[in-house]
Structure 1
Amino acid sequence: MQDEKLSILYVDDEEQNLISFKAAFRRHYTIYTANSGKAGLEILQNEKVSLIITDQRMPEMTGVQFLEKVIPAYPDTIRMILTGFSDIEVIIDAINTGRVFRYITKPWDSGELKMTIDNACQLFRLQQNNKSLLEELHTRVHEQERTLKLFQKYVPEEVVRKALLSTEESIFEGETKEVTVLFCDIRGFTTISEQITPKEVVALLNAYYGTMTESIRRHNGTVNQFVGDEIFACFGAPVSQVNNEQNAVFCALEMMKRLDKLNEVFFDKLGQKIEIGIGINAGEVVVGNTGSEDHIGYSITGDTVNTGKRIESLTKDFPDTILISDSVCHKVEHLLQLKTWEPMSLKGKRDKIQVYEVLGRK
């Protein structure tokens, strides 16, 4: 833009002034001339103009009135006005309100006017450069917001925000939290996936994930991981919440209800009902980012997580069952109808644990 020959529109009702102006400045700029404000507006509709210079005293429309009409459609154009001392108060008012950039007293000196025009053109270039930079900035911000929203589909929003505020050293610092974990798995998914095409498997999983995730979010939970047909959700991390146990169990009950809607959609195609099993446990875990410089993941680890997964596996032969641990039961038993199971052995556990089947709310 710096080497581009800028254009000037000069408006004056005296023909000799138009001729003189064009002769003085046509070597430096592209010059358009008009003998009235109306004619000037017609030129602006067809030509790109960087600077407007207009006489103040013209019939039908004064210079200030002409520039007022110009502003809405051409706000970036620099505006100057030629005036005698008798009109100076009107011009000062126009400058203060932003309608006029600068005024030039008559008769004008070509050397001084050239310096004024050069300054105005530098201002125009600066404004255009700033405008381009702002547009580029807005584009980059939009792209970053879009990337952030996309990233949040893979990682919980609070994890993303915390990571952005972390240093390279602190990003891998873990912390202990009391949370409730929920595992949900489709029973017999391998058999189901063998009966339909890969594309239909993906459609089923997406519908299943979308439906169940909505329940998890409604109850202040966060999806930590999708593994095949398994959903691992956490209540209490990364954002601490109250009533984690209650939120998790009520979420599980809602997930069972939502399963009916999934079956309405997929039963005819599958020839069988979709059945799930849910296991819920509560306790202390370690949460934080783990990985390497090239790949980072938000993890929730500890015996509480392993036990929650093992409890969910107990529902393998009991479709559409919700099982909770003793630690969860103590917090929600006053709200639920429960069925006590015999103490169960879990893989990796030396002692049997007590689990309870959730039958519904009281």
Structure 2
Amino acid sequence: MKDECTMKTETQLSFDADFDLSNAQITVLLVDDQPFIGKMIGSMLKEEPDIIFHYCQDARKAIHMANHVSPTVILQDLTMPDVDGLQMVKYYRLNTFSRQTPLIVLSGQEDAKVKADAFALGANDYMVKPPDRIELIARIRYHSQAYINMLQRDAAYRRVEEQSAELEIRNQFIKKTFGRYLSDDIVESILDTPEGLELGGEKRKVTIMMTDLRGFTSIGERLPPEDVLAIINIYLKSMTDIILKYEGTIDEFIGDAILVIFGAPVFQEDDARRAIACAVEMQQSMETVNKKISRWAILKFVWGLALILERLLLEISVQKNDPSMGLLEAMST
């Protein structure tokens, strides 16, 4: 038996989420003003190697001791000289570190009214002194294991919540990074299959579209830089909306040129058909684009297209430190 109100801090049950609760030991704290009760219960538990026993004779120090030894069950005497046992039950439940700790009230009498009061204040069990050894150990194990299981469950929930928060941060990064170049459906597909973001790539058949504005370089040389920027923004905004509408992947902007892939990172059977439909609508939208830039009093732009309808075998790589998608190799098939 430990000395009165001793604290064995090296065996404390941790409430830290990083603590391995699978190896948590049963820890008993007995609070009783009668030393012979302490010796008796200590003797009962002495032959149980998996049970750590602590004894506190002074009820005024019980809460302090409970905070340090983190018991898996508290045995609280009902009749104490300084603090009433029922009042101690209330104090345990108000204390952060013992609020959920199983509490067994010990009493010298079998009184239904006292039992009811103890349970109403938060006690988990009630035993008459002196307790039977087998029954006492059984109840200690039962309540302690239930408590340890609860701590393990809560720790698991905290880990899940932390992982969910980390995943949400990652998903927001992906949405922010790829959202300007990919449709919402494709971004969601990437989030559902994160292995697609691993270093390296894969061979895949895709359809590629390359578009530009014919004569843009010579026209741009005759305009102030701010006008060139305004014109290219109008054009790229209009084209980007259409490309995303048809679930194309914008691989790269090269001045006024746009390189678009259909079939990566998500392959669909109608990639080539959508690429053609996308090209047609982009061509039709040039009338609107030319109207928007007419205030600069320049010639209408002519839109150029190179659409590879022969499917290509491409190696596509999405690097962890570079969110762009690169075409590393292309071969006609």
- Secondary structure of 2:177 counterpart: coil
User: Is the contact made by 1:53 and 1:80 (CA closer than 8 Å) also made in structure 2?
Assistant: yes
Aligned equivalent of 1:135, options 158, 164, 183: 158
**Counterpart residue number, 1:290:** 263
Aligned-residue sequence identity (percent) comes to 14
Cα displacement string for residues 183-230 of structure 1 (whole angstroms, at most 9, x for unaligned residues):
99xx98xxxxxxxxxxxxxxxxxxx9xxx8xxx8xxx99986462565
**Counterpart residue number, 1:144:** 167
Aligned equivalent of 2:304, options 316, 330, 347: 347
Task: Confirm or deny that 1:48 pairs with 2:70.
Answer: yes
Shift of 1:8: 0.8
User: Is the contact made by 1:36 and 1:61 (CA closer than 8 Å) also made in structure 2?
Assistant: no
Shift of 1:135: 2.4
**Counterpart residue number, 2:141:** 118
Cα displacement string for residues 125-152 of structure 1 (whole angstroms, at most 9, x for unaligned residues):
2112212322222232223222212221
**C-alpha separation in 2, matches of 1:11 and 1:55:** 6
Shift of 1:117: 0.9
Q: 1:288 to 1:140 in 2, by over 3 A?
A: farther
Shift of 1:70: 2.4
Q: 1:86 to 1:346 in 2, by over 3 A?
A: closer
**Counterpart residue number, 1:227:** 252
User: Is the contact made by 1:33 and 1:40 (CA closer than 8 Å) also made in structure 2?
Assistant: no
How many residue pairs match? The answer is 232
- Counterpart of 2:165, as a letter, is H
- Counterpart of 2:39, as a letter, is I
Q: Can you give the 5+ residue segments of structure 2 that lack an aligned partner in the other structure?
A: 1-20, 194-211, 218-228, 307-333
User: Is the contact made by 2:26 and 2:52 (CA closer than 8 Å) also made in structure 1?
Assistant: yes
Aligned equivalent of 1:80, options 77, 95, 104: 104
- Secondary structure of 1:81 counterpart: strand
- Secondary structure of 1:153 counterpart: helix
User: Is the contact made by 1:78 and 1:101 (CA closer than 8 Å) also made in structure 2?
Assistant: yes
**Counterpart residue number, 1:17:** 37
- Counterpart of 2:252, as a letter, is V
**C-alpha separation in 1, matches of 2:148 and 2:133:** 22
Shift of 1:55: 0.8
**Counterpart residue number, 2:287:** 326
User: Is the contact made by 1:64 and 1:91 (CA closer than 8 Å) also made in structure 2?
Assistant: no
**C-alpha separation in 2, matches of 1:310 and 1:337:** 16
- Counterpart of 1:110, as a letter, is R
User: Is the contact made by 2:27 and 2:70 (CA closer than 8 Å) also made in structure 1?
Assistant: yes
**C-alpha separation in 2, matches of 1:25 and 1:82:** 16
Task: Confirm or deny that 1:158 pairs with 2:184.
Answer: yes
- Counterpart of 1:9, as a letter, is L
- Secondary structure of 1:154 counterpart: helix
User: Is the contact made by 1:82 and 1:104 (CA closer than 8 Å) also made in structure 2?
Assistant: yes
Q: 1:344 to 1:108 in 2, by over 3 A?
A: closer
**C-alpha separation in 2, matches of 1:139 and 1:66:** 36
Cα displacement string for residues 29-49 of structure 1 (whole angstroms, at most 9, x for unaligned residues):
211111232121232233232
For the aligned residue pairs, the C-alpha RMSD in angstroms reads 4.6
Q: Can you give the 5+ residue segments of structure 1 that lack an aligned partner in the other structure?
A: 167-182, 189-207, 231-276, 280-286, 312-323, 350-362
Cα displacement string for residues 299-328 of structure 1 (whole angstroms, at most 9, x for unaligned residues):
8954575478789xxxxxxxxxxxx73356
User: Is the contact made by 1:52 and 1:77 (CA closer than 8 Å) also made in structure 2?
Assistant: yes
- Secondary structure of 1:326 counterpart: helix
Task: Confirm or deny that 1:33 pairs with 2:62.
Answer: no
Cα displacement string for residues 65-124 of structure 1 (whole angstroms, at most 9, x for unaligned residues):
223322332134222111355653343344356x22211123311121111111112212
Instruction: Indicate the structure whose relative CO is greater, using CA pairs within 8 Å and at least 6 residues apart.
Output: 2
**C-alpha separation in 1, matches of 2:305 and 2:44:** 94
**C-alpha separation in 2, matches of 1:2 and 1:348:** 64
Q: 1:341 to 1:289 in 2, by over 3 A?
A: closer
**C-alpha separation in 2, matches of 1:81 and 1:306:** 80
